[in-house]
Amino acid sequence: MRIANPIYDVVFKYMMEDLKVAKTFISAIIGEEVLELDFCPQELTIKYRKESRTVVRMDFLARIKTTGGQKAVIIEMQKAQTSFDVKRFRRYIGKQYASPDNIYRDENKNEYARQIYCIFFLGDGVNVPDVPVLTVTNLVKDRKTGKEIDLHNEFIESLHHKSWIVQIPHLKRHRRDDLEKLLSIFDQSNIADSNYILKVSEKDFPEQYRHIIRRLKQAAENEEIEEEMIAEYEILGDFQNLERRIEMKDEMLEKNAKTIKEKSKMIEEKDRLIEDLLRQINQKEKNK
């Protein structure tokens, strides 16, 4: 089966804008059942570009099943080529904490802050080798003993978010569980006759995820999406060429600076030798 490559922003957005797909996809990553899912009203999707760094951000309001009932959380999802621009990620998350829209009231009109879940898809990972998905949790420990305390506390959960980091380069060869089988849709070793299309077998995916594969198949058959993928590939290529030229210039400047520094050291050394010779000459003149 030929599916569109979700490494491209236009395909990733097409996939996630189907709420049934988004519910299944997010539930698989966080390991909790998403009962309801809505795009946050203030923004559907936003794409940012700075040089060759592309970030796609999607915000969802989710209702998640718990042992005691349900809870409402904000899902902050970001897909980026690189983890380089940490300030940008922090700014997005900070907006979620500060937003008054993320406060809800119960039946007694008590106000609570919604818990925030962050999901990152990174094209170059975070230098943790051979681990496809990292889970960062808000563990609570006794400071003295180091013992982990198992509790669910509104204060703690509202101020310390959970995160999942998908390292796309490390998805290759990992199919240890259903989630890793699902995330193999990002495995770039499955590229077919072009960078835009991956070749997969539907039977390699668990039954509960096959509607996601069919959604990507639809994207592969959509001419408009194909044109956007090509445009995105060309734009990123231009940015990468520009960045390579900048890096080459930086290397030349660094090399020139090193040469200038070495010449400066040689001049300083010559000056010291001249000073030594002058002192010797003056000393000889005094001794006459």
pLDDT at 246 over 80: no
Q: Using CA atoms, how far apart are residues 85 and 98, in angstroms rounded to an integer?
A: 21
pLDDT at 202 over 50: yes
47 has which bridge partners? Answer: 56
Q: Using CA atoms, how far apart are residues 208 and 219, in angstroms rounded to an integer?
A: 19
Residue 73: alpha-carbon gap to chain centroid: 20
Beta strand spans in the chain (E): 2-4, 34-39, 45-50, 53-66, 69-80, 103-105, 111-113, 115-122, 133-136, 162-167, 197-199
Q: Which of 133, 135, 123, 127 is nearest to 179 (CA)?
A: 133
Question: 187: pLDDT confidence band, cut at 50, 70 and 90?
Answer: very high
**Predicted pLDDT of residue 244:** 64
Give the range among 3-17, 65-79, 84-98, 167-181 with minimum mean pLDDT. Answer: 84-98
Q: Using CA atoms, how far apart are residues 280 and 277, in angstroms rounded to an integer?
A: 5
Give the range among 5-9, 108-112, 126-130 with minimum mean pLDDT. Answer: 108-112
Q: Which of 98-107, 187-196, 209-218 ranks highest by mean pLDDT? A: 209-218
